[in-house]
Amino acid sequence: MNPTDEFVIAQLAEANPAPEGLVPGATERAEAERVLRRLLDDPPAPRRRHPGSGILVLIASVLVVLVVAAVVLRTGGSSTPASHPSGGARITLRAEATSQTPRVTAGAMSREVALLRRRLASLGGGFTVAQSGTTSIVVTAPSGSAAQRGRIDALITQPAQLRFYDWEANVLTPNGKTVSSQLSTQNATAVSVSQGRDSGPGYPGAGSSSLYQAVSLATKQPPAPAGRFLSRLGQEYYAFGAPGSRACAAAAAVEGAAGPPAGQCLLAGPLDPGRSVSRSQAIAELAAQLPAGVTPSDGQVLAVPQGTLVVQAEPLRSGARVSIVSPAAQFFVMHDHVALSGADITHPKAGTDQSAAPDVTFGFTGSGRAAFQRATRAIAHRGAEVSLNGLTLNQHFAVAVDNRLVTVPQIDFRQYPDGIIGANGADITGGLDAPAARDLATQLRYGALPLALRVVN
Amino acid sequence: MGREVDRQAAFEDLFASHYWAVRAYVLRRGPEAAAEDVVAETFLVAWRRLDTLGDDPLPWLLGVARRVLANQQRADRRRGALAARLQSLLPAPEPDWGPPATMSDELAGAMVRLSPHEREALLLVAWEGLEPARAARAAGCSPAAFRARLHRARRHVGAALAETTIAPRSSIAGEPS
């Protein structure tokens, strides 16, 4: 099967040598100034000089300074004129508690505002982020293209929670058992999910399944009690349409697809309404996302219990930003037992390792260091235990941003028989090209907002 | 005099609004050393045609930048005629378009095999983020012709990528405990 159009565009976008949103440095700004001066000093039409044109020269000089300042302050890439915030968008957000930040405190709000400012700064200038009341945040954004608005929405509303999981201890095979529980017998499916096939683990095809299959498997898991290791409290809801149904045709039309997919289609969701919301309230929220003319009774509503996750197989190296609704999208089901979160990571940086291959280095907070050492020790010990009969089965960490699986690095149990101490940080290396390393470092850096944000208007 | 001042102000607005987008377009397709001249030449043409520019001048500006870049490459080739003749003796001549270092070998191979029109169609969408109607204006063709080019390009690149296997093996490293 050929990769989708979306995949091709995503691959190219990742290879963009001058990505939009790069902040111009002093050299680039000087170049902009030089070009403008060149043009103004030697305009294409002959300019008649009048006596007393000194005033004009003065006005022109002021204009040059103003325009150069405007150009310099712009942060590149945008194709729209700089706008006053009042000409752009004003977005009001409500902050809500998460399992990792169970109360909306003044400190959490302050961190949230600071992180939002940093995230939006990556798009350039012109944004304001301010706290309003005790739980609201108001963002004003300059006007821009539809693509730019999409990125703003994504940066604001995506919780972009970064989490590390012990891969084999959490990922499930279609029989609902964890991979780690089946490795001692070298179960073929479990080994395939653990080690990957042609590609590494966590890639589409390495034991992954369609969204409907994954959600169906996830719904069969028992709910887990609330605890600090969970990334989500409460259930996650999906609405699916039957193959060839009118509802799927309506959903395909909304997505601009040529036609409905062969199997079940996603009509609405995933919806994470929080733990205090009843099933009927959640279905009402889900109904609001349905395509026009489709009701919840036209589809099947599935609820993934607390303690289970459906993650999309979307590793960085593939460059695939495949939409969740695409028939090409592939998923894994995991227990939601977080080993480390983005808040445990410090100073992520893209660079190169000793062999000049792209890598990402990072450090840990005090508690993060202990958690990392504990997790890597468990992973390394299991690698040694299940590597039998001449078969090496190194075990893995899974790095997920939101519900996307971005990389699944292995821990070599022979090199690290008791795990990695983490005192001097750690690095993820191999299987990354330079853009993927940069993306991962960015996600590690901006990954964790302490509170969930909901757009109020 | 007032008209000249107005014209200059309008040009400065145009420059402030689109300089970075035009520069990025040129950097994505040509050597960095040439970018300043190509961008300056593009805006010089824009200044001459300032009265005829519509509400959405960016696609037109990108079209001008493409032609300026092509003219510059042609001039460079003429200057290096001997080198070009020598190069023609080699079994595989260099393509006009060079993939950036950020592009994987598989993708670069697929892109190099596209026709220049098809390649530009893909890049206007993927790199410049233009919708097909605006991209068609930048490419200087009708929207229907542009959609056809884009479709062919995506199909060819998609097929080429499907044939390749990525074998990533990442690992996590640090100090043993």
Q: Is residue A91 within 8 Å of residue A139, measured between CB atoms?
A: yes
Q: Is residue B56 within 8 Å of residue B134, measured between CB atoms?
A: yes
Burial of A52 (0-12, 13-18, 19+ CB in 10 A): exposed
Token representation of residue A318: 């593939």
3-state secondary structure of A116: helix
User: ipTM of the assembly?
Assistant: 0.79
Render the burial of A274-303: b for 16+ CB within 10 Å, e for the rest: beebeeeebbeebbeebbeebebebbbbbb
Which residue has better confidence, A112 or B64?
A: B64
**pLDDT above 80 for B166:** no
Residues of chain B with Cβ-Cβ distance to A425 below 8 Å are: 174
| Separation CA A252–CA A260 (nearest Å) | 5
| Separation CA B65–CA B35 (nearest Å) | 10
The CA-based angle A141-A143-A148, given to 5 degrees, is 85
**Do both B1 and B82 map to the same domain?**
yes
pLDDT digits (tens, 9 = 90+) for B102-129: 777 778 888 888 888 999 999 999 899 8
Residue B32 pLDDT class (50, 70, 90 cuts): confident
Q: Is residue A377 within 8 Å of residue A395, measured between CB atoms?
A: no
Which residues is B6 bridged to in the sheet?
none
- Of B158, B139, B156, B29, which is closest to residue A11 (Cα–Cα)? B158
Q: Is residue B175 part of a domain?
A: no
Smallest Cβ–Cβ distance between B176 and the set A32, A78, A421 belongs to A421
**Do both B24 and B111 map to the same domain?**
no
What residue numbers bound the domain in which B83 lies? 1-94
Chain B nearest C-alpha distance from A178 (Å): 21
pLDDT of residue A101: 63
Note whether A200 contacts B18, CB cutoff 8 Å.
Answer: no
Q: What is the mean pLDDT of each run of 10 residues along chain A (457 residues)?
A: 60 75 72 87 58 45 47 36 48 76 71 70 68 86 63 61 90 96 88 80 85 96 90 89 91 75 86 81 86 88 95 65 76 95 83 83 88 94 88 89 82 92 83 75 66 75
**Do both B79 and B17 map to the same domain?**
yes
**Do both B122 and B80 map to the same domain?**
no
Note whether A17 contacts B102, CB cutoff 8 Å.
Answer: yes
**Do both B52 and B116 map to the same domain?**
no
Cβ atoms within 10 Å, residue A46? 6
Note whether A397 contacts B161, CB cutoff 8 Å.
Answer: no
Chain A nearest C-alpha distance from B106 (Å): 10
Q: Which residues contact A335 (CB under 8 A, 6 or more apart)?
A: A169, A170, A172, A178, A221, A224, A307, A308, A309
Which residue has better confidence, B45 or A80?
A: B45
Q: Is residue B105 part of a domain?
A: yes
Question: Domain holding B157: CATH number?
Answer: 1.10.10.10
Closest residue in B to A65 (Cα) is: B12
Note whether B104 contacts A11, CB cutoff 8 Å.
Answer: yes
Residues of chain B with Cβ-Cβ distance to A20 below 8 Å are: 24, 129
Token representation of residue A79: 């194709």
| Separation CA A266–CA A277 (nearest Å) | 22
Q: Is residue B23 part of a domain?
A: yes
Q: Give the domains, in start order, of chain A with CATH numbers.
A: 19-39+55-77 (no CATH), 85-157 (3.30.70.3400), 160-230+306-448 (3.30.1360.200), 235-304 (no CATH)
**Do both B87 and B128 map to the same domain?**
no
- Of A76, A77, A91, which is closest to residue A127 (Cα–Cα)? A91
How much of chain B, in percent, has pLDDT values that exceed 90? 36
**Do both B20 and B88 map to the same domain?**
yes
**Do both B48 and B90 map to the same domain?**
yes
Note whether A430 contacts B169, CB cutoff 8 Å.
Answer: yes
For chain A, the 3-state helix, strand and coil shares in percent, each to the nearest 5, are 35, 20, 45
Cβ atoms within 10 Å, residue A121? 16
| Separation CA A216–CA A208 (nearest Å) | 13
3-state secondary structure of B173: strand
Total domain count for chain B? Answer: 2
**Do both B10 and B81 map to the same domain?**
yes
Q: Is residue A135 within 8 Å of residue A104, measured between CB atoms?
A: yes
| Separation CA A202–CA A313 (nearest Å) | 6
Chain A nearest C-alpha distance from B24 (Å): 6
- Of A154, A142, A152, which is closest to residue A89 (Cα–Cα)? A142
**Do both B116 and B135 map to the same domain?**
yes
Note whether A428 contacts B23, CB cutoff 8 Å.
Answer: no
**Do both B88 and B105 map to the same domain?**
no
pLDDT of residue A6: 65
Token representation of residue A178: 């964890």
pLDDT digits (tens, 9 = 90+) for B131-159: 899 999 999 999 999 999 999 998 888 77
Q: Is residue B177 part of a domain?
A: no
Which residue has better confidence, B40 or A131?
A: B40
| Separation CA A253–CA A371 (nearest Å) | 47
**Do both B4 and B90 map to the same domain?**
yes
The residue with tokens 């010089």 is B44
pLDDT of residue A100: 55
Q: Which residues contact A71 (CB under 8 A, 6 or more apart)?
A: A29, A32, A33, A36, B15, B16, B19, B20
pLDDT of residue A335: 97
Q: Is residue A275 within 8 Å of residue A234, measured between CB atoms?
A: yes
Residues of chain B with Cβ-Cβ distance to A32 below 8 Å are: 19-20, 23
pLDDT of residue A305: 96
Q: Which residues contact A232 (CB under 8 A, 6 or more apart)?
A: A99, A272, A306, A309, A336
pLDDT of residue A346: 84
pLDDT of residue A82: 31
Note whether A34 contacts B125, CB cutoff 8 Å.
Answer: no
Cβ atoms within 10 Å, residue A178? 18
Among B55, B77, B94, the domain-final residue is: B94
3-state secondary structure of A195: helix
| Reported pTM | 0.52
Q: What is the mean pLDDT of chain B?
A: 81
- Amino acid letter for position A279: R
| Separation CA B127–CA A433 (nearest Å) | 19
Which residues is A364 bridged to in the sheet?
A345
pLDDT of residue A59: 47
Max mean pLDDT range (A90-94, A357-361, B62-66, B173-177) = B62-66
- Amino acid letter for position A91: I
Note whether A410 contacts B170, CB cutoff 8 Å.
Answer: yes
pLDDT of residue A98: 67
Beta strand pairing status for A308-313 and A128-132?
A: unpaired
Residues of chain A with Cβ-Cβ distance to B12 below 8 Å are: 36, 40, 63-64, 67
pLDDT of residue A61: 47
